[in-house]
Amino acid sequence: MATIIEPFKIKMVEPIRFTTRAERQNILQQAHYNTFLIHAEDILIDLLTDSGTSAMSAAQWGAMMVADESYAGSRSFYKFEAVVRELTGFKHIMPTHQGRAAERILFQIVGGAGKVIPSNNHFDTTRANIEFTGAEALDLVIDEARVPSLSLPFKGNLDINKLKAFLAAQTGMPGPLAQRVPIGMLTVTNNTSGGQPVSMENIRAVSALLKQHEIPFFLDACRFAENAWFIKTREPGYAHKTPHDIAQEMFSYCDGATFSGKKDGLSNIGGFLACNDDTFAEHARNLLILTEGFPTYGGLAARDLEALAVGMTEVLDERYLEYRHACIEYFAAKVRAGGVKIVEPPGGHAVYIDARAFLPHIPPEQYPGQALVCALYEFGGLRGVEIGSAMFGKTDPATGKETFSSMDLVRLAIPRRVYTQSHVDYIGEVVLETFAQRQHIRGMKMAWQAPMLRHFTARFEPR
């Protein structure tokens, strides 16, 4: 059969509230034109994020009921640890309440003023946690990733030549290289550049180059299963391998990883920090105890560890991954056919609309991505998120001068196992209706911003 169906049946439903356009206009105004500040009950279809929004399976709910909530030494932890260790091969597995907690511990240990952390692209919380320590978050993604319309199979790759040049420049400076470049990273898939995958060839090359310079290599692995699926379907030599085997190979080239279980853990909360180095693990566990909890629960209830253990197995099912990516492709084809420019090819968890192409009459300094996010909510009750100058731009506190992002995108992230094809059809219709009325959409100005991660709480006003 040609039709790819959802590899599950629905056992429980939740009603959604419908609003009028006039109501949504008022809601936007009350939320200062920032969709993060809109009450969830006022959203019809929520595409703000795929993080923590998955529908959990019957097996996950069942596992939660047998959880051992002991403070220390819980059997639920050891079940979780066994699943993660078998998949990743890492010696030390430290649970955290979510991915950014793992990032905070990692960069509190390795970060600091004068240090640089290279990656393909650091996403928002990773970058903020690095910069909070005084270190620099360096993006070395391939140049092609900055061209939304250009279609390549692995646009998430790190540019090896850029990394070589960076390390060569650092080698010429006084003092040990590892003091300035404590770790290197890759984000899989690459959220900043459109949910684009990283090839196994690129993972190997980055690993080898960092190893040559004795620099530890970490994965930001929150969408590892989606990346494994892209490798299976796009990279020569992997078609016959299972997503599980491909994921194991990805992790085998690394010295550690951060992970948000709210994405490819198919869970509503949770994550981990993993590594092989005993000394690093000791430091990390001390910080874990200080800020998250005892190392066998790490800020989580044991029932969440149980759900993660099951989710990290379910997410590698080939039927699930085939359906997941067919859903994204279906959505992309629908809006593309209507003339909407998106990041090509579609990513693994979302469709990214090119807001500058969608709204050519709105210049970058008027935040076209934020304007489009608001318009999609006003026209159809959709909540997306801006991935552009509101998220990654910066205002110089001394001069007030704004630095803008190289792209202004709107990410419409599809929660896992939540919406049906009819929902996706409706989403596409709203995007196309908004596109037909795009000339009426006005730019935005930022009226207030927080010093870090400003996009979460910023206030905007229409121009």
Closest by CA position to 11, among listed 62, 67, 52, 51: 62
Q: What is the pLDDT of residue 172?
A: 76
Query: Which long-range contacts (C-beta less than 8 Å, at least 24 apart) are formed by 161-165?
Result: 163/118, 163/206, 163/209, 164/209
Please, what are the domains in the chain?
21-50+317-462 (3.90.1150.10), 58-314 (3.40.640.10)
Residue 213 to residue 174: CA distance in whole angstroms: 15
Query: pLDDT for 201-222, tens place per residue?
Result: 999 999 999 999 999 999 999 9
Q: What is the pLDDT of residue 174?
A: 78
Residue 165 to residue 187: CA distance in whole angstroms: 20
Query: pLDDT for 297-324, tens place per residue?
Result: 999 999 999 999 999 999 999 999 999 9
- Per DSSP, the residues of 54-103 read PPPPHHHHHHHHT----SSS-HHHHHHHHHHHHHH--SEEEEESSHHHHH
- Per DSSP, the residues of 330-382 read HHHHHHHHTT--B-SS--SSEEEEEHHHH-TTS-GGG-HHHHHHHHHHHHH-E
Classify strands 271-275 and 116-119 as parallel, antiparallel or unpaired: unpaired
Listed as ranges, residues in the chain with pLDDT below 70 are 1
Q: What is the pLDDT of residue 1?
A: 65
Q: What is the pLDDT of residue 148?
A: 96
pTM: 0.96
